Amino acid sequence: MNGTQEELTGASRFRPGWLLLPASVWWMVFFVMPLGILAAISFLRPGSPVEWSLTAGNYGRLLDPLLLKVFLRSLVMAAAATAVCLAIGYPMAYFMARQPPRLQKLLYFLTLIPLWANSLALTYAWMVLLRSDGVLERGLRWAGAIGPADDLRLLYTPASVVLGLVYWYLPFMVYPLYASLEKFDWRLLDAAMDLGATRWTALHRVMLPLTMPGIIGGCLLVFIPALGNFVVPQLMGGAKQALIGNVIQERFLSQPQDWPLGSALAMTMMVLVTAAVWAYFRYAREEHALG
Amino acid sequence: MATVCSSRADQGDGRQVSSTAPVVELRKVSKTLGEHRVLDRMDLEVHPGEFVSLLGPSGCGKTTSLRLIAGFDHPTSGDVYIHGHLVNGSPPYRRDVNMVFQSYALFPHLTVRANVSFGLEMQRLLRPEIESRVDEALGMVRMEGLSERYPHQLSGGQQQRAALARALVTRPAVLLLDEPLGALDLRLRQEMQGELKKLQRRLGLAFLYVTHDQEEALTMSDRVAVMQGGRILQCGTPAEVYEKPRTRFVAEFVGEANILSGRVIGLGEGSASVGTAGGVVRVSDAGGTAQTGREVTMVLRPEKVVLSEASASGHDNRLSGLVEEVTYLGNGTRYRVRVGDRLALTVRRQNAPHERAVGLGEKVFACFPADTVHLLTEE
Ligand SMILES: Nc1ncnc2c1ncn2[C@@H]1O[C@H](COP(=O)(O)OP(=O)(O)O)[C@@H](O)[C@H]1O
Ligand SMILES: [Mg+2]
């Protein structure tokens, strides 16, 4: 094992630099350039859409209590969506990984399907289902579970936003979890129970720590995009549930336009998320290095 | 026929095994997985302090029987007893047995120390007691210096020791070992065989030891149960199983064997003469099972045969033949001697100081006493 690893790193040391050229170009065009433009705009004065003079004031304007409130709400919503995704996704991935290999492939394929459908259309479908006098209420009314005049007000609530986000991002939680559970050695659960652990203790003392990379990966893949999602809060949250993604979108697209503020907001979000992820990986590495 | 496997008070090698109740007992245990009958009415007893081996080829149901005892699986029919209590439905964490898994199943995210203390933590012992018992267990397997390592930082032999310590530390009634030395190279395996046996004796712990290596089973066990296709074919002391195999499969699986078949042509005082493809063979028949005209199968171990050049007298059996193969084995030599058109004997000889080498193509006599030929009683 060690030998192979050394050989691999040894080989990469002698790889000529020009082989990296296509990747570097790709990186520049699709990643660095848009980011650079965004960063540049965030330091311009607001105009229509911008005025060509420099300022750092846009970042100061972020401290607006209204924005902070939206930011906080976004964090809570994204965290709630992540938690629900984990709570649903872990048992799902566990169930998948315990099936015979052929069935595993089929289930994996099935979880992919929502990704092929248009997310926007699916979100509308949820609205049709949940809205007042929608499919769900009519069904319940027909079954006699609610009275003819009852309005459950399911849509346009924080819960409906979380539901929309969960539906949108659940696959992103399931894949990393499935990937780490698929590699999990099930005999370790036997070993733990053999030594006196109940099934629950075995899951929590052995399987949970060993699938932690999948858990972290899934949470990042859900939390980060959920934080910036603007379709779900707009369609399923209504005006009162605006999230940070909506604010950014509006500053770019709706009157009065304010590109510099939108850019500053986007940049700040990105820096915060990157810093959080970096801090986590640093912490994880140190934790591991202790061993 | 399924064979009852229970120990006698005297183990033949002089070792006394107490006649107290068995720590583990299987009664007519069958297990069906899918369409496949993996265990078929298996009976087995393991007594306190006893070293019992399950010996059989891959796929014969050895691991499955351990899993039923540990509680990872449950029998389709039949009963499992631990300490005399029926445990058929009870989960692994309520059973006073521990398993050393094939390829160990150490917890990769825990140090050796944490692996070993896992079972004690589950028993909710106090920290000082856990620490001292972990140290003791690590000492027993000589792993004191490596307690802070992670499993992936250990060699195969060290992982094996760690797994053993983890299973020993909770002092179970019986240790189930699933080919614990299977992944080690020959030298280490032989060394560990000795150590395991010593440890087992010292702790007076019952071992149920799974192996497909007949030599391992013979050298380490008080009793060996030979398995095939989900059944125990024969169970007895190593000497019994080796010297008096009941079936052809047992004879061939437990060591090298010449299988001679023929028809009984004469009966004597506790012996019989059998016409074989290599000539008439005299066989002792203490049980008196032979009848004239009956087809019988006999076993002759290669090391019981002496090769001589002259037609020396003084042997019950003397088959003349031609040496058609000579294989040098280091400590001995294996000959293949053709004694008839349809019969060649395998003969094994130690390379002793004054032995004259027998060459290829030489004409020899294969000589062996009647009481070294064993009549098989079952097919
Ligand atoms: N889950 C299962 N489903 C069907 N057959 C199985 C299953 N597990 C094991 N078997 C079969 O049971 C037999 C015995 O397996 P095992 O106890 O592992 O044998 P051993 O340990 O002696 O090599 C094998 O033939 C194996 O193919
Ligand atoms: Mg096995």
Q: Are residues B239 and B321 in the same domain?
A: no
Which chain B residues are closer than 8 Å to A197 by Cβ?
93, 118, 122
CA distance linking residue B55 with residue A34, whole number of Å: 68
Q: Do the beta carbons of residue A263 and residue A34 sit within 8 Å? A: no
pLDDT > 80? residue B306: yes
Of B218, B252, B286, at which residue does a domain stop? Answer: B252
Distance B76 CA to ligand 1 centre (A): 14
Check if the beta carbon of residue B91 is closer than 8 Å to that of residue B262.
no
Alpha-carbon distance of A37 to A2, in angstroms, equals 44
- Which of the four pLDDT bands, split at 50, 70 and 90, describes residue A13? low
The pTM (predicted TM-score) of the whole model is 0.83
In degrees and rounded to multiples of 5, residue B368 shows phi and psi of: -160, 140
Secondary structure element (H or E) that encloses residue A18, with its range = none
> Ligand 1 within 6 A of B211 CB?
no
CA–CA distance, B344 with B259 (Å, rounded to integer): 10
Cis ω for the linkage preceding B57 (within 30 of 0): no
Terminal-to-terminal C-alpha distance of chain A: 18
3 state DSSP class of A252: helix
Phi and psi at residue B221, to the nearest 5°: -90, 155
Residue pair B367/B237 in contact (Cβ under 8 Å)? The answer is no
Indicate whether B25 and B64 sit together in one domain: yes
Residue A133: per-residue pLDDT = 82
Q: Band of the pLDDT at A15, cuts 50, 70, 90?
A: low
- Compute the CA torsion angle A59, A65, A71, A76 (nearest 10 deg): 150
Cα–Cα dist B110/A192, whole Å: 12
B259, B302 in Cβ contact below 8 A?
A: no
Return the residue whose CA atom lies nearest to atom 25 of ligand 1.
Answer: B59
Tokens of A59: 């970042």
Per-residue pLDDT, B312: 65
CATH class of A64-290: mainly alpha
Q: pLDDT value at position A134?
A: 85
Report which residue type is found at B210.
V
Q: Two tokens at A207?
A: 């399987």
pLDDT at B16 over 50: no
Q: What is the pLDDT of residues B319-350, one digit of tens each?
A: 999 999 999 998 899 999 999 989 999 999 98
Side chain identity at residue B157, one-letter code = G
Half-sphere exposure of B254 (CA within 13 A, CB side): 31
What domain range is B242 assigned to? 4-9+17-252
Give the end of a domain, one of B252, B272, B300: B252
Cβ pair B66, A191 in contact under 8 A: no
Q: Whose CA is nearest to atom 3 of ligand 1?
A: B33
d(CA A196, CA A202): 9
| Structure confidence at residue B178 (pLDDT) | 96
- Domain co-membership, B286 together with B367: yes
Which residue of chain B has the CA closest to A212? B109
Of B215, B243, B214, whose CA–CA distance to B227 is shortest? B214
Residues of A whose CB is below 8 A from B119: 195-196
Token match 């898994």: residue? B101
* Ligand 1 centroid distance, CA of B92 (Å): 19
Question: Using CA atoms, how far apart are residues B173 and B50, in angstroms rounded to an integer?
Answer: 11
If asked whether residues B268 and B351 sit together in one domain, one would say yes
Exposure of A189 in the CB half-sphere (CA atoms within 13 A):
17
Buried b (16+ CB within 10 A) or exposed e, B84-113: eeebeeeebbebbbbbbbbbbbbbebbbbb
Q: Tell me how many degrees the CA angle B89-B91-B95 measures, rounded to the nearest 5.
A: 100
Radius of gyration from C-alpha coordinates of chain A: 24
Of A218, A238, A85, the closest CA to residue A163 belongs to A85
Q: Are residues B107 and B241 in the same domain?
A: yes
Tens digit of each residue's pLDDT (9 = 90 or more) over A75-102: 999 999 999 999 999 999 999 999 999 9
The predicted pLDDT at position B61 comes to 95
Q: What CATH number is associated with residue B95? A: 3.40.50.300
CA–CA gap between residue B115 and residue B106 (Å, rounded)? 7
The answer to whether the CB of B353 falls within 8 A of the CB of B265 is no
Confidence tier at B369 by pLDDT (50, 70, 90): very high
Burial class (CB in 10 A: 0-12, 13-18, 19+), B178: buried
Q: Are residues B356 and B316 in the same domain?
A: yes
B131 & B63 share domain: yes
- φ/ψ of residue B6, rounded to 5: -135, 155
Looking at residue B74, its amino acid is H
Contact of A212 with A177, CB cutoff 8 Å: no
User: What single-letter DSSP state applies at residue B358?
Assistant: P
Q: Which residues contact A92 (CB under 8 A, 6 or more apart)?
A: A111, A174, A177
Token pair for residue B346?
């395998």
Window 258-297 of B, Cβ < 8 Å to A: none
Whole-number Cα distances in Å, A155 to A10, B73, B213? 58, 48, 68
User: B123 at the A interface (CB within 8 A)?
Assistant: yes
Q: Does B234 touch chain A (CB under 8 A)?
A: no
Question: CA–CA separation, B372 vs A53, rounded Å?
Answer: 108
- Asked if omega into B75 is within 30° of 0 (cis), the reply is no
pLDDT at A7 over 60: no
Q: Which residues contact B159 (CB under 8 A, 6 or more apart)?
A: B104, B106, B151
- Using the Cβ of B69 and the Cβ atoms of chain A, whether some distance falls under 8 Å is answered with no
pLDDT digits (tens, 9 = 90+) for B216-271: 999 999 999 999 999 999 999 999 999 999 999 999 999 999 999 999 998 888 88
User: What is the C-alpha separation between B325 and B336, in angstroms, rounded?
Assistant: 5
Q: How far is CA B168 from CA A102, B114, B120, B163, in A?
A: 39, 14, 11, 9
CATH of the domain at B326: 2.40.50.100
Tell if the CB–CB gap between A188 and B122 is shorter than 8 Å: no
Same domain, B191 and B303: no
Query: What is d(CA B156, CA A110) in angstroms, rounded to the nearest whole number?
Result: 41
Strand-pair category, B223-228 with B258-268: unpaired
Q: Which residues contact B127 (CB under 8 A, 6 or more apart)?
A: none
Whether residue B169 sits in one domain with residue B302: no
Last residue of a domain, one of B203, B229, B252: B252
Structure tokens at B308: 């001589």
Q: Is the CB of B212 under 6 A from ligand 1?
A: no
The answer to ipTM > 0.90 is: no
Nearest chain A residue to B150 by CA: give it. Answer: A291
Assess whether B92 and B132 both reside in one domain.
Answer: yes
Q: How many CB pairs under 8 A join A and B?
A: 61
How does pLDDT run across A172-198, given as a tens digit for each residue?
999 999 999 999 999 999 999 999 999
- Tens of pLDDT, residues A111-164: 888 788 888 888 888 888 888 888 888 888 888 888 888 787 888 888 999 999
Are B326 and B333 in contact, with CB atoms under 8 Å apart? yes
Instruction: Give CA–CA dist B324/B330, Å, rounded.
Output: 19
The C-alpha atoms of residue B119 and residue B172 are separated, in whole angstroms, by 11
Q: Please state, as a whole number, how many other Cβ atoms lie within 10 Å of the Cβ of residue B208.
A: 25
Note whether B328 and B226 are same-domain residues. Answer: no
Q: What is the pLDDT of residues B83-120, one digit of tens each?
A: 999 999 899 999 999 999 998 999 999 999 999 999 99
| Co-location of B176 and B246 in the same domain | yes
Report the domain count for chain B: 2
